[in-house]
């Protein structure tokens, strides 16, 4: 065959990828990804030009016949692909010699080429400018191309390296190509082999379709769960939620949605669009409320920031007043607490200035207190000496002398004067108060013991108890003489009780 001979070999049709699932996502917060799976990789072109092995063909060029119309490519549905265990070797083409082509074809004198098919002859084309051998060789190559495609499809079915649905579609394409094919060869044999392939793929395609439907149903359920959770978040009272937590949860739901798009099966366009619309609306509701919340929060922070800035200016203006400015600063501090939050950064910066103004006032007071404490050192020593002297009040048994000593010490204590800081003065006063309380307790006990009225009541009671004791002693003696154990026991117990009361009364 001449290298210049025309070749009208047609390539194996490649299934088109699914149309992407388009979804309009006009979200202001973050760009949305549409539910569109990547286009399927095209099947490798299985057309290989089968070179005629015959050496009898002359080197004369031949015109290219009119090409047969090519059927449109079919869309590729989702399918589960099973990986082959091992690749299969390609098969050889069909008739490759003029003698084989002559068995199935003929060339008329005017160059019309026909193929023997179904017990008759069908015209497949014309080859007017070449010999009969060249015409048959040309259309035999067309048959070889078709045979190679059928052989390749048989090997792919045998190896199991592709989805049954894809293989069924390719078989359908080949059926169309073999219908009234412009080729010379055993076309009916090719159709029989192709019919057998189609039948074997029918059950696998049906099972594959069932699995694909189950996978799609599960994917719809998973994506519906994402939508329902987002709608539940959007339906709650968003005026009292923790927006950080809500934002994180909505972000996690959106990530799950994107991951489901990328890794899950492809959903029907109607169901996918409906779910996306619900999810988009829920996210828009949450985002709208979140924007409104933070806009209101910004206004609140701005108002609080302005109030605190004015408080800082007033606090800094108190610096020349020194210690006298502390009461006013405390009032400003109360206003600061009621001013509200202005945002962390603004609050920290303003508080640093406000605190610095207060530190200046309290530093002045600390300096004043240090000077006053230095002046109070002699008075502290004087009161400490009086406390040492007051220890004798506790040791003095005579209450009158103890009271006179304490009264003198108290007068000297007051004459010393005030002591600063106040904490030290209170500590010294507490020590003297302990001595005063101890003496007062002793005086109270003595008063109770020597009170005339108390003594009179105690004398009458003592006399009554003594009379009762005498009667009980007589009753006890009588019980002993009579041998009445019960009366003896009662008299003894009553006598012991009366004697105990008398002892307590006499002190």
pLDDT digits (tens, 9 = 90+) for 35-81: 433 333 333 333 333 333 333 333 333 344 333 333 333 333 443 33
Cα-to-chain-centroid distance, residue 178: 59
Tokens representing residue 56 in the block = 């009898």
Q: How far apart are CA 291 and CA 295, in angstroms?
A: 6
Residue 51's CB is within 10 A of a number of other CB atoms, namely 13
pLDDT at 98: 53
**Mean pLDDT value across residues 233-250:** 90
Q: What is the DSSP string of 416-434?
A: H---SSHHHHHHHHHHHHH
Q: What are phi and psi of 105, to 5 degrees?
A: -140, 165
pLDDT at 7: 36
pLDDT at 418: 85
**Mean pLDDT value across residues 267-275:** 92
Is residue 266 within 8 A of residue 78, CB to CB? The reply is yes
Q: Residues 6 or more apart from 106 whose CB is under 8 A from it?
A: 113, 114, 116, 121
pTM: 0.41
Is residue 167 within 8 A of residue 211, CB to CB? The reply is no
Q: How far apart are CA 461 and CA 474, in angstroms?
A: 20
Ramachandran class of 153: left when φ > 0, alpha when ψ lies in -120 to 50, beta otherwise:
alpha
Q: What is the DSSP string of 457-507?
A: HHHHHHHHHHHHHHHHHHHHHHHHHHT-HHHHHHHHHHHHHHHHHHHHHH-
Burial per residue of 34-44, b for 16 or more beta-carbon CB atoms within 10 angstroms, e otherwise = ebebeebeebe
Tens-digit pLDDT profile for residues 127-141? 888 888 888 888 889
Is residue 57 within 8 A of residue 134, CB to CB? The reply is yes
pLDDT at 63: 40
Q: Residues 6 or more apart from 399 whose CB is under 8 A from it?
A: 439, 442, 443, 446
Could you identify the residue written with the tokens 């060249």? 134
Residue 26's CB is within 10 A of a number of other CB atoms, namely 8
Tens-digit pLDDT profile for residues 71-80? 333 333 443 3
Q: What are phi and psi of 125, to 5 degrees?
A: 165, -175
Task: Say whether pLDDT at 466 is over 80.
Answer: yes
Tens-digit pLDDT profile for residues 184-194? 888 888 888 88
* Partners of residue 120 on adjacent β-strands: 117
Q: How far apart are CA 338 and CA 136, in angstroms?
A: 102
pLDDT at 456: 66
Q: What is the DSSP string of 40-74?
A: PPPPPP---------S---S---PPPPPPPPPPPP
Where does the pLDDT of residue 460 fall: very low under 50, low under 70, confident under 90, or very high at 90 and above? Answer: confident
Q: Quick one: which of 496, 507, 500, 497 has its CA closest to 455?
A: 507
Q: Quick one: which of 52, 58, 62, 65 has its CA closest to 99?
A: 52
Q: Percent of the chain at pLDDT above 90?
A: 28
Task: Say whether pLDDT at 313 is over 90.
Answer: yes
Tens-digit pLDDT profile for residues 210-223? 888 888 889 999 99
pLDDT at 80: 37
Residue 3's CB is within 10 A of a number of other CB atoms, namely 7
For the chain, give the mean pLDDT: 77
Tokens representing residue 141 in the block = 């190559």
Q: How far apart are CA 143 and CA 258, in angstroms?
A: 48
**Mean pLDDT value across residues 94-100:** 50
Instruction: State whether residue 123 is helix, strand or coil.
Output: strand
pLDDT at 38: 35
Residue 393's CB is within 10 A of a number of other CB atoms, namely 21
Assess whether the previous peptide bond of 421 is cis (omega < 30° from 0): yes
pLDDT at 454: 67
Tens-digit pLDDT profile for residues 19-34? 333 333 333 333 333 3
**Mean pLDDT value across residues 385-412:** 91
């Amino acid at each position: 065959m001449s290298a210049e001979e025309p070749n009208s070999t047609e390539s194996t049709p490649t299934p088109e990828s699914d149309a992407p699932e388009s979804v309009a996502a006009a979200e202001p917060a973050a760009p949305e990804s549409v539910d569109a799976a990547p286009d399927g990789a095209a099947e490798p072109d299985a057309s290989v030009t089968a070179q005629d092995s015959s050496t009898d063909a002359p080197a004369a060029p031949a015109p290219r016949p009119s090409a047969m119309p090519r059927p449109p490519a079919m869309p590729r549905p989702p399918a589960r692909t099973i990986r082959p265990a091992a690749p299969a070797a390609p098969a050889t083409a069909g008739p490759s010699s003029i003698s084989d082509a002559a068995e199935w074809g003929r060339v008329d004198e005017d160059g019309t080429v026909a193929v023997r098919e179904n017990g008759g002859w069908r015209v497949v084309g014309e080859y007017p400018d070449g010999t009969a051998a060249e015409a048959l060789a040309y259309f035999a190559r067309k048959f070889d191309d078709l045979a190679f495609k059928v052989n390749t499809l048989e090997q792919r079915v045998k190896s199991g390296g592709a989805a049954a649905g894809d293989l069924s579609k390719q078989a359908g394409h080949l059926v169309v190509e073999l219908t009234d094919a412009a080729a010379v060869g055993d076309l009916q044999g090719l159709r029989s082999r192709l019919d057998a392939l189609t039948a074997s793929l029918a059950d696998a395609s049906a099972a594959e379709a069932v699995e694909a439907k189950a996978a799609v149903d599960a994917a719809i359920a998973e994506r519906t769960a994402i939508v329902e959770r987002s709608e539940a978040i959007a339906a709650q009272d968003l005026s009292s939620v923790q927006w950080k937590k809500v934002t994180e949860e909505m972000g996690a739901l959106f990530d799950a949605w994107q991951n489901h798009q990328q890794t899950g099966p492809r959903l029907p366009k109607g169901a996918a669009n409906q779910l996306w619309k619900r999810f988009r609306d829920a996210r828009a509701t949450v985002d709208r409320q979140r924007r409104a919340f933070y806009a209101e929060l910004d206004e609140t922070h701005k108002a609080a920031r302005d109030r605190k800035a004015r408080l800082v200016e007033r606090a800094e203006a108190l610096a020349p007043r020194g210690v006298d400015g502390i009461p006013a600063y405390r009032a400003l501090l109360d206003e600061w607490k009621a001013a509200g939050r202005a945002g962390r950064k603004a609050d920290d910066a303003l508080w640093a200035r406000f605190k610095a103004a207060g530190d200046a006032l309290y530093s002045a007071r600390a300096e004043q207190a240090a000077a006053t404490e230095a002046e109070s050192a002699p008075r502290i020593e004087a009161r400490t000496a009086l406390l040492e002297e007051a220890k004798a009040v506790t040791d003095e048994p005579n209450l009158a002398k103890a009271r006179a000593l304490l009264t003198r010490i108290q007068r000297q204590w007051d004459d010393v004067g005030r002591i600063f800081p106040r904490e030290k003065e209170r500590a010294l006063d507490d020590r003297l108060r302990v001595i005063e309380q101890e003496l007062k307790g002793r005086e109270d006990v003595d008063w109770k013991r020597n009170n005339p009225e108390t003594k009179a009541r105690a004398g009458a009671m003592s006399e009554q108890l003594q009379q009762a004791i005498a009667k009980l002693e007589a009753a006890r003696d009588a019980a002993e003489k009579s041998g009445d154990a019960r009366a003896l026991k009662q008299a003894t117990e009553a006598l012991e009780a009366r004697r105990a009361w008398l002892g307590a009364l006499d002190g």
